[in-house]
């Protein structure tokens, strides 16, 4: 899976057109190329993926007929091939996000269409997903016509893993839940974001204290402080990801932070760009550095590779991956390759190295 400067990655997709499901690829850092793109697992709409910390298991959201849920796969240590383990399905739409804790005890999914967050117990030895342990139905709405009801977009552990943070696009809020040993979720804190902002995803600084939220509707990054004592957040800064004079439709997408915590990257669907910010080491505040073209239509996600020297982006509607080199000192991106075909790509994940 990792030899001769080669790193294995996975792509989650919408299974329309020619898409079969989850794809795998190899990033060759010696030759600065993406190679060996192939279907790794056939399933419906595995738009979001996550990989266990020990690289033994991959978890995906799944749509099957009139049901949606989560699926688990074992990862072959040598080839990176995926073998199905099991699924947990329930009536209705499929989730849009899935994650787990580092010890592979709990799995969490966020369901955009249903406005729910669900927790599952995992068998850490086999990767088997147990039936739902807790299903929380959110309530409320927001001023934007697309906020007619709750739209849960993200659910993941806080850096200390004491809580999970849930990003609720439909109700303009961040919710913190405590997770009991049996997987039960209990709300302990809630932060309201500006009405109509549509918070979407969150990423944490390596220091475990700073956090950055991407908003879908207002196209901003919100810089937050995470208070580990009781799980609450405070907002410190709002910074736009698009030019002031851009008035066409834009929807914020992914947000990532570099492993050294020095740079934050945010995707713009519509403006079709990736915005980059530098992080003030002491205060955590962001300063705008540059925007680069996504080299395609509707940049849904991107991921910095394990070396930190490359970034791989996915353009959902133009069906292409894009490879950039990344200057580790300045954080700036330089296009290497853009015509890497994958149908309706959404999520990009690398194995952990």
Say if residue 340 is exposed, middle or buried (CB neighbours under 10 Å; 0-12, 13-18, 19+).
buried
Average of pLDDT values for 278-296? 98
Local confidence band at 127 (pLDDT 50, 70, 90 cut-offs): very high
Local confidence band at 21 (pLDDT 50, 70, 90 cut-offs): very high
pTM given for the model: 0.98
pLDDT digits (tens, 9 = 90+) for 226-256: 999 999 999 999 999 999 999 999 999 999 9
DSSP SS3 for 147: helix
Calculated CA dihedral for residues 339, 340, 344, 348, nearest 10 degrees:
-130
Local confidence band at 1 (pLDDT 50, 70, 90 cut-offs): low
pLDDT digits (tens, 9 = 90+) for 305-315: 999 999 999 99
Closest CA to 26 of 83, 68, 81: 81
pLDDT digits (tens, 9 = 90+) for 185-234: 999 999 999 999 999 999 999 999 999 999 999 999 999 999 999 999 99
Closest CA to 95 of 154, 20, 167: 154
Whether the per-residue pLDDT at 3 is higher than 80: the answer is no
Q: Is the dihedral of CA 256, 39, 7, 1 positive or negative?
A: positive
> How far apart are alpha carbons 13 and 19 in whole angstroms?
7
pLDDT digits (tens, 9 = 90+) for 250-264: 999 999 999 999 999
> How far apart are alpha carbons 309 and 316 in whole angstroms?
23
For 69, half-sphere exposure in the C-beta direction (CA atoms, 13 angstrom radius) is 19
The overall average pLDDT reported for the chain is 97
- As given in the structure block, the two tokens for residue 37 are 């793109």
Residues paired with residue 297 on neighbouring β-strands, in sequence order: none
- As given in the structure block, the two tokens for residue 60 are 């995906």
Under 8 Å CB-to-CB from 329, ≥6 apart: which residues?
A: none
Q: What pLDDT shows up at residue 4?
A: 78
pLDDT digits (tens, 9 = 90+) for 90-107: 999 999 999 999 999 999
> How far apart are alpha carbons 308 and 9 in whole angstroms?
14
Residue 196 DSSP label: T
**Angle at 346 (CA atoms; ends 298, 13), nearest 5 degrees:** 125
Whether the per-residue pLDDT at 47 is higher than 60: the answer is yes
Local confidence band at 77 (pLDDT 50, 70, 90 cut-offs): confident
Local confidence band at 2 (pLDDT 50, 70, 90 cut-offs): low
Calculated CA dihedral for residues 176, 179, 180, 182, nearest 10 degrees:
140
Rounded to 5 degrees, φ, ψ at 297 are -110, 125
Whether the per-residue pLDDT at 146 is higher than 70: the answer is yes
Whether the per-residue pLDDT at 150 is higher than 60: the answer is yes
pLDDT digits (tens, 9 = 90+) for 318-335: 999 999 999 999 999 999
């Amino acid at each position: 899976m990792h030899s001769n400067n080669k790193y294995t990655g996975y792509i989650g997709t919408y299974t329309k057109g020619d898409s079969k499901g989850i794809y795998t690829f190899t990033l060759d850092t010696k030759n600065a190329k993406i190679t060996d793109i192939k279907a790794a697992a056939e399933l419906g709409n595995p738009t979001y993926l996550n990989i266990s910390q020990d690289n033994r298991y991959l978890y995906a959201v799944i749509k099957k007929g009139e049901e949606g849920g989560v699926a688990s796969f074992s990862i072959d240590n040598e080839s990176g091939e995926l073998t199905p383990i099991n699924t947990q399905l329930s009536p209705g739409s499929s989730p849009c996000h899935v994650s787990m804790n580092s010890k592979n005890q709990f799995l969490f999914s966020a369901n955009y269409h249903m406005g729910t967050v669900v927790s599952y117990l995992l068998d850490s030895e086999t990767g088997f997903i147990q039936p739902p342990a807790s299903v929380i139905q959110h309530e409320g709405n927001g001023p934007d016509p697309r906020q007619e009801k709750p739209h849960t977009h993200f659910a993941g552990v806080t850096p200390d893993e004491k809580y999970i943070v849930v990003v609720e696009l439909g109700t303009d809020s961040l919710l913190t839940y405590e997770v009991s040993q049996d997987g039960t979720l209990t709300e302990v804190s809630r932060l309201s974001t500006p009405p109509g902002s549509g918070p979407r995803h969150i990423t944490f600084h390596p220091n475990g204290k700073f956090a950055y939220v991407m908003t879908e509707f207002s196209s901003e990054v919100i810089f937050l402080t995470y208070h580990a004592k009781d799980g609450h957040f405070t907002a410190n800064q709002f910074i736009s990801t698009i030019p002031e004079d851009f008035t066409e439709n834009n929807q914020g997408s992914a947000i990532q932070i570099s492993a050294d915590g020095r740079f934050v990257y945010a995707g713009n669907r519509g403006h079709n760009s990736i915005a980059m910010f530098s992080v003030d080491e002491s205060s955590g505040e962001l300063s705008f550095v540059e925007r680069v073209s996504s080299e395609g239509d509707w940049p849904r996600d991107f991921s910095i590779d394990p070396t930190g020297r490359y970034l791989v982006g996915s353009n959902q509607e133009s069906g292409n991956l894009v490879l950039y080199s990344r200057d580790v000192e300045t954080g700036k991106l330089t296009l290497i390759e853009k015509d890497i075909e994958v149908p309706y790509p959404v999520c990009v994940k690398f194995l952990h190295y």
